[in-house]
C-alpha cells in the first residue's frame, strides 16, 4: 500500500510478525551536477541529415551514435579488472569445471528477466558465476544439442562440461549455443556461465514471457528446461566505474519492525483514499492490534501509530536498513536511531531518523534495534532527507537541517499530526467525487475484484481507479517537490527499470494528464518548475547539437536536468520533448484563465519556438518544413519528418502565437511564425486509409508496436477532431485499429484516451477493462492497483484516470462535450468538481445513460459552448456564477 507526501514515499507491506516500510526521499538519485553535452556536436548535424535524405538510415544512425549522443559520466578503464576475472575461466579446476565443489555456493532463481537485482543481488555489478546440473540419458548422447539462454545481461562465457560453448557481448544478442554430441555424458552434465555485468541490470535474463523457458533442445526435438534454482558465486563485485548517460532514482531504505509470534485471525489491511491513511489490523492471542500509517505533507514525516485494545500488550523491535553499500545505523538516544547512506554511483548522501514515542512500557536500544516492551501505545516518526539542493548544487548542511527538523517532530503528538495531515489532504482530495454505482462490492479485496472484472462488471472499481490516480498524484507531486517520476516516488530498486527517471516522449507528460481535469491544478507546479530548469540546460544543448537558438529536450531527463540525446541514436535523438512540455503550460492557462501565468512563462514558450524556427529544414522533395533528424517514438529508427514531431511543433507555434497576442508582445516574431506554421509538413492519409506515421507511406497493418505516437494530434493534442478534421479522425481510427488493442500499461492507458476522443464508448471501456485486468505478460494492474508495464510504471495509473475522465467530459474543441463516450457499463453515475477548459467546474448526474442534472460554475466568466447528444447551446457567463441545466440543456 503506497503512501506519500510528495517528498517522502513509503510502501506498507503489512506483515504480522515482520513488517517492512520501504521508504524513499524524492531527491535521492545517482549522478552529480555535470555537463551532459558533447561540444560542437552540431558539426555533424548536416552530415546526419544528408545520410537520412539519401536513404542511408543505418549509416546515419552509426554516425549519430558516434558523434551526436550525450556525454556519459566518468568511466574507468576495465582492462585490468577483466583480465583478473578471466583467470577463473582458465583454471583447470576452476568454476567452469565439472567437479568444481560448488556445494557452499548459494542458490538463486534463473532466469530473471528484470535482472538479478530483482531476485536478491541488489547493488551487485561485476563477475558472477552460475552453475546447474543437466541430466541426460544414454539415448540423448546420439544427437547434437542447442542451448537457448536467449538474453544475458551483459556478457557471458558459457561452458558445458568444462568446455567453452561461446562468448557473447550485449544484452540484445540472443544466446543460442551449439553442443556437439561428443561433449555429452550420460547422467550428470554441468552447465556453467560466467556473467560479466559492469553496470545496470545483470544476470541470465531468458525470455520476457515467463511461459517460454530457457533450456536444451536436441536435433530430434527433445527439450530440457533449465528454469529453476541454480548455484551462484559472486566472483568480484569491485568493478571499475562505468559511465552513464543519465542518473537513476534511488530507494532510500527500509524501516523494519519485529513482533511476537502468535496465532493470528481477522487480519485486514486497507488504504483509505479519502483520508490518505493506511491501516493493518489483526487479532492475536485475544488482543486486537492496529497500525495506522500516514505520510504528512505539512510536517514532512511518515508517522505510524501502534495500538492494542488491552494495556501493556505492545512489544516490538524496530530498526532501519538500506541497500546502499556501507550504510550506517547509529543510536541517537534511547528513543531514536539515525541512518547515514551514500549512493553508489553519485555524489548524494542521505540521512534518516526514526523516533518511537510511548504511552506506558519501556524502550531501550540493543544492537542497532530499538526494543519496546509492554507499552499501551506507540508512535513512530520517520524522516529522511538528502544532500540535494538543486540541479546545480549540493547542500553541505543538509544533515544539520535534518536533525533540527526531526527534533521539532519529536515534540508533536500524533493526534495533532493526523489532524494537520487530514486538513491538508482533504482540501485537495475533497474537491472531486465520482460514483458509478456498485458500491456493494467494496467489501471484496481489490485483488479479487481485478480477477472478477475480467468476466463481470464492477463500476465502483472504475470510479475507485480514478480516485486512486488522484490519490497517487497528491502523494507524489506537491508544490515545491520534484515531479512524479516513472514510479512516482515508490521505486524500491538500486537498478530500477529505465532508471525510474523522466521519459519525455510520453511517460512524464502522461503523469500530468489528469491534473487539471480532475481538479488538482496546483499539483502541476513541480512539472512547471522542472520546465523552467530544463529551459536553461536545454539552451546549452540547442547550441551544442543544433547551433540553434532556444532550448531543446530529448526523450529523457533526470534530477540533474540532462537534455542531450541518450541511449541509442535510433530512438534517443528526438528533439520535441521540450515542445511537448510547453503544451502543459498552455493547458494550465486554458483551465485557469490566468494571463499572469502565461506572462511568467512566456520567455520559455518563446525560446522553445525559436528553437524550431531555426531547426526545421525544407524537405527537397515535398518543399515542406520538416524535423530532421528525429524518430517516431520509439519506432522506425532515425528519420526525417515523423508525424508526431510536426503535430507537436504546430501546437507549439500556435501556443506562441496566442501567448504573444495575449500579452501584446513580439508582433514581428509572431508574424514570422504565422507564416512558417502552414509550411510544416501536414498530416497525411496513407494507402490503407491510415494516418501516416512518417513522411513516406510505410505503415505496416500487421505492426502491433506499443507506441502510437503519430496520433498525438488526436490526444493529447486537438488538431484531429470530428468538428474540424473528420477525414483525419477516421484515418487516426484506422491507425488505431491496425496497431491493435494490446500493449503495455501506459500504452493501454493512452488508447483509452484515443478511443474516448473518437467517442467510441464501448471500445474505450474495453480498454479500461484491459488496463484493470490482473497484471500479466503485458499491461494490467497489480493487486495494489499499480500499473504494470510490466514492471510497475505509474504513468498508466495517471493516463488511465485521465482517459476515464475523457469518457465523461471533453473540452479540447470549441465545445464542452457532456458524456461524449459513456459506455453501457457506466450507465448510472455522478461526478462533482470536474474541471473543463475555460475554467468551468462541472457537477452532473446521469441514469440509464441519460443526463439527469447538470450544474456548471463559470469561474472566469468565459463564454460557454455546451454540447450534449448533438444539441448545442452558447451562453455568455458571469464570473463565479453557477448555471443549472436539464437533460435538454435548458437553463433552469
- Provide the 8-state DSSP code for 38: P
Backbone angles phi, psi at 638, to 5 degrees: -80, 125
- pLDDT of 814 strictly over 80: yes
- pLDDT of 778 strictly over 90: no
Q: Check residue 278 and give its pLDDT.
A: 98
Answer whether CATH 3.40.190.10 is correct for domain 2-32+246-430: no
**pLDDT band with cut points at 50, 70 and 90 for residue 735:** very high
Q: Check residue 209 and give its pLDDT.
A: 87
726-739 and 745-757 helices, crossing angle to 10°: 150
Tell me the pLDDT tens digit for each residue of 91-107.
Answer: 999 999 999 999 999 99
- Report the distance separating Cα 830 and Cα 846, nearest Å: 6
Strands, E assignment, 765-849: 809-810, 816-818, 829-836, 840-847
Backbone angles phi, psi at 853, to 5 degrees: -150, 145
**pLDDT band with cut points at 50, 70 and 90 for residue 123:** confident
Domain 79-236 architecture: Sandwich (2.60)
CATH topology identical between 2-32+246-430 and 79-236: no
Q: Check residue 76 and give its pLDDT.
A: 95
Cβ count within 10 A of residue 15 = 14
Q: Check residue 438 and give its pLDDT.
A: 73
- In this structure, are strands 816-818 and 864-868 parallel, antiparallel, or unpaired? parallel
* Three-state secondary structure call for residue 272: strand
Q: Check residue 118 and give its pLDDT.
A: 86
- Report the distance separating Cα 376 and Cα 493, nearest Å: 36
- Inter-residue contact 649 to 625 (CB < 8 Å): no
Query: What does the angle CA 140 – CA 142 – CA 148 come to, to the nearest 5 degrees?
Result: 60
Q: How many whole angstroms from its chain centre is CA 459?
A: 26
Taking alpha carbons only, the member of 873, 864, 868 closest to residue 846 is 868
Cell numbers 499530526 label which residue? 417
- Report the distance separating Cα 824 and Cα 455, nearest Å: 15
Least confident of 110-119, 716-725, 823-832: 110-119
Least confident of 430-434, 436-440, 687-691, 805-809: 436-440
Distances (CA, A) of 282 to 57, 267, 376, 448, 840: 62, 4, 16, 20, 46
Tell me the pLDDT tens digit for each residue of 228-242.
Answer: 999 999 999 999 999
Instruction: Kindly state the cell numbers that stand for 131.
Output: 552453475
Q: Is 300 left (phi over 0), alpha (psi -120 to 50) or beta?
A: left
- pLDDT of 442 strictly over 80: no
Tell me the pLDDT tens digit for each residue of 569-584.
Answer: 999 999 999 999 999 9
Cβ count within 10 A of residue 187 = 10
**pLDDT band with cut points at 50, 70 and 90 for residue 443:** confident
Give me the torsion for CA of 698, 703, 708, 710, rounded to 10°.
10
Mean pLDDT for 141-145 is 95
Taking alpha carbons only, the member of 160, 151, 149 closest to residue 192 is 160
| DSSP percent split of the chain into helix, strand, coil, nearest 5 | 30, 30, 40
Instruction: Kindly state the cell numbers that stand for 349.
Output: 548522501
Mean pLDDT for 323-332 is 95
Mean pLDDT for 484-493 is 97
- pLDDT of 709 strictly over 90: yes
* Number of residues in the chain: 892
**pLDDT band with cut points at 50, 70 and 90 for residue 120:** confident
Q: Check residue 441 and give its pLDDT.
A: 79
In the chain, where the domains are located: 2-32+246-430, 79-236
Strand partners, 25: 8
Instruction: Kindly state the cell numbers that stand for 28.
Output: 535521492
Q: Check residue 176 and give its pLDDT.
A: 97
- C-alpha radius of gyration, the chain, whole number: 29
- In this structure, are strands 2-4 and 8-12 parallel, antiparallel, or unpaired? antiparallel
Mean pLDDT for 622-639 is 96
- Report the distance separating Cα 309 and Cα 62, nearest Å: 69
- pLDDT of 440 strictly over 80: no
Burial 569-582 (b: 16+ CB within 10 A, else e): bbbbbbbbbbbbbb
pTM of the model as a whole: 0.94
- Provide the 8-state DSSP code for 806: H
**pLDDT band with cut points at 50, 70 and 90 for residue 422:** very high
N-terminal to C-terminal alpha carbon distance within the chain = 45
- Report the distance separating Cα 246 and Cα 833, nearest Å: 40
Mean pLDDT for 866-888 is 96
Least confident of 305-319, 776-790, 853-867: 776-790
- pLDDT of 651 strictly over 90: yes
- Inter-residue contact 227 to 182 (CB < 8 Å): no
- Inter-residue contact 812 to 718 (CB < 8 Å): yes
Amino acid at each position: 500500500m503506497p503512501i506519500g507526501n510528495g517528498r517522502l514515499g513509503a510502501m506498507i507491506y503489512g506483515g504480522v510478525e515482520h513488517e517492512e516500510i520501504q521508504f524513499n526521499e524524492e531527491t535521492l538519485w545517482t549522478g552529480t551536477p555535470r555537463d551532459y553535452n558533447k561540444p560542437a556536436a552540431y558539426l555533424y548535424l548536416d552530415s546526419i541529415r544528408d545520410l537520412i535524405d539519401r536513404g542511408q538510415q543505418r549509416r546515419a544512425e552509426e554516425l549519430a551514435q558516434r558523434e551526436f549522443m550525450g556525454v556519459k559520466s566518468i568511466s574507468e578503464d576495465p582492462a585490468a579488472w577483466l583480465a583478473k576475472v578471466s583467470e577463473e575461466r582458465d583454471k583447470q579446476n576452476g568454476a567452469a569445471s565439472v567437479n568444481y565443489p560448488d556445494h557452499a555456493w548459494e542458490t538463486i532463481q534463473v532466469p530473471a528477466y528484470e535482472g538479478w537485482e530483482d531476485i536478491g543481488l541488489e547493488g551487485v555489478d561485476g563477475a558472477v558465476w552460475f552453475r546447474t546440473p543437466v541430466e541426460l540419458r544414454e539415448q540423448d548422447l546420439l544427437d547434437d544439442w542447442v542451448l537457448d539462454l536467449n538474453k544475458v545481461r551483459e556478457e557471458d562465457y558459457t561452458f558445458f562440461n568444462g568446455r567453452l560453448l561461446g562468448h557473447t557481448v550485449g544484452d540484445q544478442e540472443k544466446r543460442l549455443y551449439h553442443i556437439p554430441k561428443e561433449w555429452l555424458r550420460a547422467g550428470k552434465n554441468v552447465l556453467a556461465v560466467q556473467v560479466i555485468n559492469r553496470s545496470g541490470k545483470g544476470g541470465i535474463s531468458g525470455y520476457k514471457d515467463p511461459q517460454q523457458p530457457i533450456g536444451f533442445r536436441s536435433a530430434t526435438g527433445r527439450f530440457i528446461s533449465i528454469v529453476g534454482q541454480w548455484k551462484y558465486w559472486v566472483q568480484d563485485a569491485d568493478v571499475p566505474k562505468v559511465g552513464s548517460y543519465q542518473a537513476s532514482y534511488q530507494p532510500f531504505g527500509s524501516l523494519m519492525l519485529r513482533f511476537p509470534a502468535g496465532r493470528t485471525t481477522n487480519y485486514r489491511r486497507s488504504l483509505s483514499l479519502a483520508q490518505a491513511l493506511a491501516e493493518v489490523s489483526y487479532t492475536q492471542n485475544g488482543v486486537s492490534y492496529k497500525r495506522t500509517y500516514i505520510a504528512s505533507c505539512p510536517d514532512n514525516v511518515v508517522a505510524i501509530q501502534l495500538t492494542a485494545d488491552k494495556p501493556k500488550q505492545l512489544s516490538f523491535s524496530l530498526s532501519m536498513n538500506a541497500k546502499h553499500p556501507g550504510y550506517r545505523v547509529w543510536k541517537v538516544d534511547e528513543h531514536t536511531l539515525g541512518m547515514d547512506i551514500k549512493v553508489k554511483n553519485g555524489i548524494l548522501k542521505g540521512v534518516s531518523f526514526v523516533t518511537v514515542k510511548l504511552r506506558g512500557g519501556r524502550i531501550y536500544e540493543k544492537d542497532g534495534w530499538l526494543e519496546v516492551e509492554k507499552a499501551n501505545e506507540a508512535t513512530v516518526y520517520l524522516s529522511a532527507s538528502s544532500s540535494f539542493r538543486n540541479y546545480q548544487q549540493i547542500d553541505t548542511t543538509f544533515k544539520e537541517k535534518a536533525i533540527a527538523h526531526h527534533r521539532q517532530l519529536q515534540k508533536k503528538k500524533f493526534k495533532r499530526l493526523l489532524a494537520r495531515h487530514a486538513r491538508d489532504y482533504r482540501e485537495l482530495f475533497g474537491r472531486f467525487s465520482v460514483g458509478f454505482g456498485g458500491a456493494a462490492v467494496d467489501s471484496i479485496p481489490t485483488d479479487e475484484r481485478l480477477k472478477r472484472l475480467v468476466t463481470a462488471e464492477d463500476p465502483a472499481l472504475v470510479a475507485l481507479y480514478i480516485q486512486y490516480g488522484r490519490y497517487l498524484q497528491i502523494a507524489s507531486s506537491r508544490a515545491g517537490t520534484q515531479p512524479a517520476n516513472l514510479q512516482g516516488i515508490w521505486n524500491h530498486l538500486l537498478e530500477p527499470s529505465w532508471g525510474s527517471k523522466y521519459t519525455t516522449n510520453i511517460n512524464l507528460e502522461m503523469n500530468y494528464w489528469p491534473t487539471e481535469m480532475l481538479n488538482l491544478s496546483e499539483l502541476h507546479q513541480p512539472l512547471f518548475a522542472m520546465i523552467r530548469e530544463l529551459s536553461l540546460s536545454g539552451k546549452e544543448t540547442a547550441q551544442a547539437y543544433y547551433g540553434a537558438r532556444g532550448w531543446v529536450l530529448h526523450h529523457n531527463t533526470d534530477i540533474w536536468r540532462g537534455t542531450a540525446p541518450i541511449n541509442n541514436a535510433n530512438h534517443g535523438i528526438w528533439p520535441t520533448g521540450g515542445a511537448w512540455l510547453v503544451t502543459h503550460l498552455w493547458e494550465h492557462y486554458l483551465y485557469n484563465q490566468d494571463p499572469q501565468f502565461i506572462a511568467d512563462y512566456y520567455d520559455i514558450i518563446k525560446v522553445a519556438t525559436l528553437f524550431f524556427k531555426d531547426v526545421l529544414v525544407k524537405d527537397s522533395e515535398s518543399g515542406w518544413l520538416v524535423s530532421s533528424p528525429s524518430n517516431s517514438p520509439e519506432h522506425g529508427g532515425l528519420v526525417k519528418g515523423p508525424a508526431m514531431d510536426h503535430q507537436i511543433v504546430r501546437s507549439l507555434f500556435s501556443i506562441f502565437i496566442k501567448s504573444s497576442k495575449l500579452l501584446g508582445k513580439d508582433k514581428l516574431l509572431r508574424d514570422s511564425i504565422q507564416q512558417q506554421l502552414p509550411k510544416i509538413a501536414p498530416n497525411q492519409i496513407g494507402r490503407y486509409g491510415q494516418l501516416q506515421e512518417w513522411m513516406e507511406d510505410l505503415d505496416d497493418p500487421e505492426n502491433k508496436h506499443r507506441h502510437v505516437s503519430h496520433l498525438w494530434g488526436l490526444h493529447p493534442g486537438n488538431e484531429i477532431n470530428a468538428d474540424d478534421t473528420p477525414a483525419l479522425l477516421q484515418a487516426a481510427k484506422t491507425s488505431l485499429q491496425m496497431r491493435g488493442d494490446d500493449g503495455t500499461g501506459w500504452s493501454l492507458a493512452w488508447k483509452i484516451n484515443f478511443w474516448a476522443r473518437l467517442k467510441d464508448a464501448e471500445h474505450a471501456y474495453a480498454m479500461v477493462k484491459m488496463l484493470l485486468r490482473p497484471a500479466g505478460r503485458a499491461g494490467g494492474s497489480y493487486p495494489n492497483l499499480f500499473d504494470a508495464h510490466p514492471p510497475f510504471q505509474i504513468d498508466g495509473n495517471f493516463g488511465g484516470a485521465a482517459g476515464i475522465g475523457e469518457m465523461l467530459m471533453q473540452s479540447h474543441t470549441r465545445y464542452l462535450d457532456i458524456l461524449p463516450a459513456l459506455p453501457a457499463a457506466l450507465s448510472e453515475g455522478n461526478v462533482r468538481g470536474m474541471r473543463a477548459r475555460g475554467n468551468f467546474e462541472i457537477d452532473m448526474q446521469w441514469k440509464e445513460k441519460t443526463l439527469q442534472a447538470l450544474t456548471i460554475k463559470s469561474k472566469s466568466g468565459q463564454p460557454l459552448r455546451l454540447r450534449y447528444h448533438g444539441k448545442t447551446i452558447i451562453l455568455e457567463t458571469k464570473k463565479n456564477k453557477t448555471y443549472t441545466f436539464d437533460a435538454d440543456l435548458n437553463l433552469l
